[in-house]
Every structure is written in structure tokens, then in C-alpha cells.
Structure 1
């Protein structure tokens, strides 16, 4: 009896499979075949690139409009979905790939050729700046560029002031003098285009100050994927950009999802760049967000697969570089360490801008004084707080964001710049007056 029932059930299952294969919509079958074929591609054709550019033009027309800027989060999401619906009808986007990630504020999708894309419907700064009125949380609202004062917001601790004085004085003496260059640094600034920027003056100030300390600092304000392949030229690389946690669907027949951190650049997608980056795009090492290129962990893993980053410390300010609480993702750090990086620093969760900037300021200042990266990060945390909610509440804030952002160090905590171990940066500080303490350092930073 049991055997007969087993045979009956098997027959029912077989019949169901046959009916599914026969009755499945032709459009679904065609789309599945197209996806399988697209996933096998290694290069983009001119037709593929042209179709992507057509889709990108529609997306950027939406996200770059004044109307979109004024929309609420919910209105942006609806507008993004409506735009992608239209692109799917034109065959430029796979309808089955459209996915709304409410938590991270992204609608992800796949272009018809298999490249990944997305539309960000949450403003990138929404969780980063202190935007509440002073009456609500005791904090000042963000100041405009005209009122910005990097010197006022980024005070120097006494040990850094002494180090700056010692640095200036050492230049006037051959005895125990520091080398003219103690390291080379690059700030990969991709937050904005620097026009009317409330952020840029602070980074410009930091660049000038660190130059005076002997850290030869380059600031790249037009960061491209090609630039990110040349990080091995520097002892310290600072990734100052927006980050996100990107979720997408993949698979021709059996749909699966994957979530990973991405770094958002300001490099605009073009027809010719799509062709040049075709392998990276098709292998999902690079994706497009709002028509701009973004780097994934696999991008760095491939770019430095020969271990070229052997003398480099990488400090990332990007939000969600290490994922989010409850879903920590170490793929970015692992990729850079696999590429030879001596140490990698990054944040879990979205981080307040001022906290992140202050932590960077304090950490690099103390690296310039000869501290190890582990010691410098510890000093920064002791100064500004273990996480950004601690810092926020100490400023009088009463409505912190949901999850605290905290900085994590991977790799060698003893990595350092080229400061001689036997040199005491503060040994000559008592020989000059307070007015002379910063000397050339502040002159160059002005």
C-alpha cells in the first residue's frame, strides 16, 4: 500500500514538472535564456553599451532633477520604480531583476546585457550630518561654506602642537633632524565635485597641515576607477567617499540574492568607458549607481592580486565599508589585505560626517608623530569616543541615528610611517614660544 502511494506521488510530481515546463510563460523562458547568455559574456558590444547609455540617461535625468531633489524618500522610491518599469518595457532593464532594498534606500536592477545598476532613493547625507535644530537636540545646524572654519572645528591636541613645533625646529638643525618626507599619502575625495561643498575646506586644510608635517599629501577630487588601481604608489590611502550596502538578484532560473558593500564614485558612466570597463562591469566588480561607477571588494581583489599594496595603509571613511550591525561584511578589508595592504581601517554602519572627519584628523596627525596605526587609532577613540553615538551625545545630541558606527582596524597594528624610532618629536618644543609652535605648518595650511 505504501509503495503504491509512493508511486502515485512520484507520478503527480512528474506531471507537475511537465505542466510547469509546458505552461510556463514564453516571456519568462525567453528572459531566462537571455540572462544565461548575458552572464556568459566577457565583453560588451557597442549595442550593449548604447543600450546602457540610453538607460543611464533616463536614470540621471530623474535623479539629477530638481523635482527629485525635493521629493520625500517614499516619493523617490516610487519615481525610481516607475522609471525602471518604463525601461523594462523598452527592453533596457530586466524586469525580474528590479529589487527594492528599503533598509539601504536602493532600488537595484540589472541591465539587459547583465551589468548591475541601481538608483539611490535615500539622500547620501541623510544619516551623516547633524541636521536637527538646536532647540531639538542642543546642536548647531551644519554651517554653510561661507561660515565654515576648519581651524575652529578641528582643534589640535597639545601633543600635536608640540610635534608641529618640534618639526619646525628640527628643520633648523642638523642634529636628529627628521627626513624631509616621512610618507606619501593620497586623499581620494569623492564626496562631491567640491563646488559649494561644505566638506571640501576641511580636507584642503588637512592636506596642507599634513604636508607641513612631512607627509606629502595628494588630493584627488576626480576619483576614477583607474585611480583606485594606483593606490600602491602611496604609504597611506584615504578613501573619502559615500558608501552603501548593495543588494541584487542574480541567476537565470533559480533566483538568489547577494548583499555587499560598495564605494560610490563621482565618475560618470560613458559609452567608451563602459566598453573599457566591460569585463569589470560584467563580472560585477564594478556596478553603476545613479549612472555613476561604484567599486566592489572584488574590484580591489582583482586590481591588487599580485600583492602590490605591500607598503600601504588604507583608511576608509565610507559608510558601511564593513557592512552593518547584525550583518558585518569584511570583504572589503579582506580584499585589500589580500592585495598586500599593511593595515585597513573602516566603519561598520553609517557614520556621522563630523565624527569620521575628526577621527581621521587625529589618527593621521599621530601617525605623523611616529605612532603606530594601532596607537594612533586608540588615541583618536580616546579623544572622540569609541563610536559616533558616544561622540554625538557628548555634543548634546538627543536623537542619534539607529546604529552606532565604529572604526575597526585589520592587519598589522604596528604599521607606521617613516619616522625614525629614536626621534622624539616633542624634544625641542620648549625652545620656542607658543606663537611659533605651528610655524610653517599652519602657514601652508592657510
Structure 2
């Protein structure tokens, strides 16, 4: 009996081997000419990168055109699908990977080599640049330091800021440094930007309070691997929800938050970032690089962030209502971050900027991150629809954006107890007065 069972098992194994040998080539061919299985590639060749660049050139020619900008959402979808159909015909994109996600405003696809890509139907500045015609669009003064509110008409040039900083150091206005901060500014290229002057002002103010603040206006993937250099990192970029299909025999879909950068893809960079691209830690939208939660999980897998506070302004950093996704926060906390703050849903630009302003001001005045965030919410509202209606807005967006804190609420900067809040605020005011005088 045992011998008979053994023979049956051997027969089954042999049959399985025969079926695998016969069906595997057919399944390979069924995916499309020249297409490979999701797990087949582990390295990106020069030919792979060249093919992606060919596809990216076609995509960016479409999305960067004035015609595309003027199209309706339906028109953009039609144009995007037509372009992807042509790229599929050329063998640059896998036909069965194309997926329309109208809810999140994009069409996703997979390049022939297995890297993920996409075309935005909603242009980056349309994702969260929601303004209205009621009242002032500037930052409202935090109550505790109302005399030191930024002025919207005051763009700061690099020359003016450097001169003010040099004057500050000469006069030794601040004997203590309370920490190092970085603003990863990836909203735009700062040319004719409606956002950039606010962030320049905030940078100067925080410098005056002793928080040594660097503003990176050309954020790259490499920069995001060096956030461990700072005590506070501010991710000021567009965000989105990316949905894609994967699997060879059984198709599955996955949706996850991504952070959009302004770093353009090139052949050389594609090869350098090859492992991350194939592992789907990096995605390309409109020919620009974007990062997923797995990017941070891999970059800081040894816990290098070491007590850093991460403050994200990106839309949908934590997903959307009824589909909250904590993967970004979890990845950063796993990488050593002490505290992570981010938004659920798309957030109004001015609300987000105001919340950042108030929270960091009070963090720099010695409060814990939990207390500083509570103060900001008390000042501007628990969510952005509360703020919007208080400003006189009458047509709020569908879902309110709210800021959530993960990790340690007691995290704080190194504010010395013997340096009073009044002295620190006065020092910041003196520095900005010098800046205003120089700018005049």
C-alpha cells in the first residue's frame, strides 16, 4: 500500500512538472509581446532605462502642453488613454496594466520592464491649491506672538536673507541654537510662485528664534535619504493616492499614498534608482519621481532618523476618509522618527500653511509637539472646513482634511530653560525688522 501511494505521488509530481513546462511559455506570451512577470527582473538595464525614457518623453510632451492644461478632465483622460495605447503598440507599456482611477485623478500603468508609472488627470497645482475670494489669503497671527506675523507682500531674496543672518551672527542675538530644521519644498520651482514667499518668511522667522532652518527647493530622492541630519523635517509637497494593478495569473489592485517630487526622470537616474524603481519604492508620474512608504522604510531600515520630528503637508499622506492609510507614518516611525504628523484627505493650502506656522512657532518657544499642535488647532480649527467657513467660504470641498499626530506627543526641541520665550520672540522680531529694512 505504501509503495502504491509513493507511485501515485511520483506520478502527480511528474504531471505538475510537465504542465509547468508546457504552460509557462504560454502564460509568458499571454501577458503581451516582450512583457515579463512582475518578479522576473531584479536589475534595470540600460535598454530598460532607454525604453522608459522614450515613453516618458511622450507622456511629458502630452502633460506639459498648453493644450492638456486647458482640457477638461474627460478630455485629459481621453488623451492619456490614447497616448498609452500608442505606447503599448510600440511595446513600451504593458497593455493589461493600464488602469483608470478617476476618483484619484490619474491613469496608472506599468512600463515594459516592470516599473510603475502614471499620468495625472488632475495637475499638481489643482490637487490642493484650493482658494476662494473671501478675505485675506495670508497667515493669521498666532495669538501668543501676534506682533510677529508674516506679511504676505514681503518676498525674501537669498541676498537679503543671507545679509540678515550674517548680521544676526555678528550681533550674537541668539546665544543658543535650539535645533536644526529642513523644509523640503517640492510644490513648484519657486518661479512666480504664490507659495514660496510664505516659506521664505517662515524660514527667516524660525532662524531668528534659534531654529537653524534650511530650505531645499530642488528636492531629490537622494535628499530624502538624508533627513536624519535634522531635528525637524517638513515635507512640503503635493501628495496623491496611487492605484495600480499587479500579478501575472491573478490580477490584484493596490492603492497607497505617494509624495510627488519635482525631480525629473533621466536615463542615468533611472539606472541609479533601478532597484527602488523595480521594487515599487519609487513611481514615476508625468515623468517625475514620486516616493511610496516603502521608500522611507528601506532608506531608514536601520533606524537612522533617531528622534526626528517629521511634519508632512502633503495631501492624502494618511489616505482618505473611509480608507485611512497609516503606511507612511508607520514607515517613518520604524525608521527611528520620534513623531510623525500628516493629513488625511486633500488639504486647503492656506490652512495647511497656517497650521505649520503656528505649530513650529510654539515648538520653537519650548512647547512639546503635542501642545504646539493643540494650540494650532485651537487657533485655526480642528480641520480645514472649519477654517474655510470661518473665512467666509461658501463652497467647501467634500471631505475635511485633519492633521494627525503619531508617536511621542512629548517630543520637543532643545529650548534652554534659562532663555525666556519673550527674549526668543524679541530676537526673532529684531532679525525680521532688519530683513524688512534691507528689503525696503
Match of 1:234 in 2: 230
Cα offset for 1:253? Answer: 1.0
Change (3 A) 1:158 1:61: same
Tell me if the contact between 1:163 and 1:426 (Cα under 8 Å) persists in the aligned partners.
Answer: no
Q: Distance in 2 between matches of 1:424 and 1:141?
A: 32
Aligned to 2:59: 59
| Pairing 1:95–2:95 present | yes
Q: Find 2:221's aligned residue among 216, 222, 225.
A: 225
1:211 to 185, 202, 207: 207
* Kept after mapping to 2: 8 A contact 1:32/1:253: no
1:327 matched to 2:323? The reply is: yes
| Residue 262 (structure 1) aligned with residue 258 (structure 2) | yes
Q: 1:160 Cα shift? A: 2.3
Q: Using the alignment, how far apart are the partners of 1:246 and 1:288 within structure 2? A: 11
Decide whether aligned partners of structure 1 residues 127 and 302 sit closer, same or farther in structure 2, where only a CA change above 3 A counts. closer
- Structure-2-length-normalised TM-score: 0.85
Unmatched segments (≥5 aa) in structure 2: 1-18, 150-168
Cα distance, 1:43 vs structure 2? 1.1
C-alpha deviation, 1:442, in angstroms: 3.9
1:118–1:290 Cα contact (<8 Å) kept: yes
SS of the residue aligned with 2:125?
coil
| Distance (whole Å) between structure 1 residues aligned to residue 34 and residue 71 of structure 2 | 38
Q: What secondary structure is seen at the aligned counterpart in 2 of 1:81?
A: helix
Could you tell me which of 271, 275, 282 is aligned with 1:275?
271
Tell whether the 8 Å contact from 2:257 to 2:318 is kept in structure 1 after alignment. yes
Q: Distance in 2 between matches of 1:348 and 1:67?
A: 32
Write the distance in 1 (CA, Å) between the matches of 2:73 and 2:321.
23
The Cα offsets for residues 62-102 of structure 1, whole Å up to 9 and x where unpaired, read as 00001001111111111111100100010000010000001
Contact 1:97 1:110 in 2 (8 A): yes
1:161 and 1:439, CA in 2 relative to 1: closer, same or farther beyond 3 A?
farther
Distance 1:343 1:281 in 2: 28
CA RMSD of aligned residues (A): 2.8
Superposed counterparts of 1:266-305, under 5 Å: 266-305=262-301
Where 1:109 maps in the other structure, the secondary structure is strand
Inter-partner Cα distance in structure 1 for 2:350 and 2:148: 24
- 8 Å contact 2:227–2:233 — kept in the other structure? yes
Counterpart-to-counterpart distance in 1, 2:382 and 2:119: 33
Could you tell me which residue of structure 2 aligns to residue 80 of structure 1? 80
For residue 196 of structure 1, the aligned residue among 188, 192, 213 is: 192
Distance 1:124 1:246 in 2: 14
The residue that corresponds to 2:14 in the other structure is: none
Look up the match of 1:402: 398
Deviation of 1:180 (Å)? 2.6
Q: Which residue matches 1:382? A: 378
- Separation in 1 of the partners of 2:109 and 2:346? 23
Please say if residues 185 and 236 of structure 1, whose CA atoms lie closer than 8 Å, have aligned partners that are also in contact: yes
Matches within 5 A, 1:81-230: 81-132=81-132, 134=133, 139=134, 153-160=138-145, 179-230=175-226
Shift of 1:129: 3.2
2:247 to 251, 262, 275: 251
The answer to whether structure 1 residue 29 and structure 2 residue 16 are counterparts is: no
CA shift in 2, pair 1:283/1:440, >3 Å = same
Aligned match of 1:3: none
Query: Who is 1:15 aligned against?
Result: none
1:438 lines up with 2:429 in the alignment: yes
CA distance in 2, matches of 1:32, 1:68: 30
Is the 2:333–2:340 contact (alpha carbons within 8 Å) kept by the matching residues of 1?
yes
Q: 1:199 to 1:163 in 2, by over 3 A?
A: closer
CA displacement, residues 335-376 of structure 1 (integer Å, 9 cap, x when unaligned): 000000010000000000000000000000001100100000
Aligned-pair CA distance for 1:426: 2.8
Q: 2-side partners of 1:350 and 1:439: how far apart?
A: 37
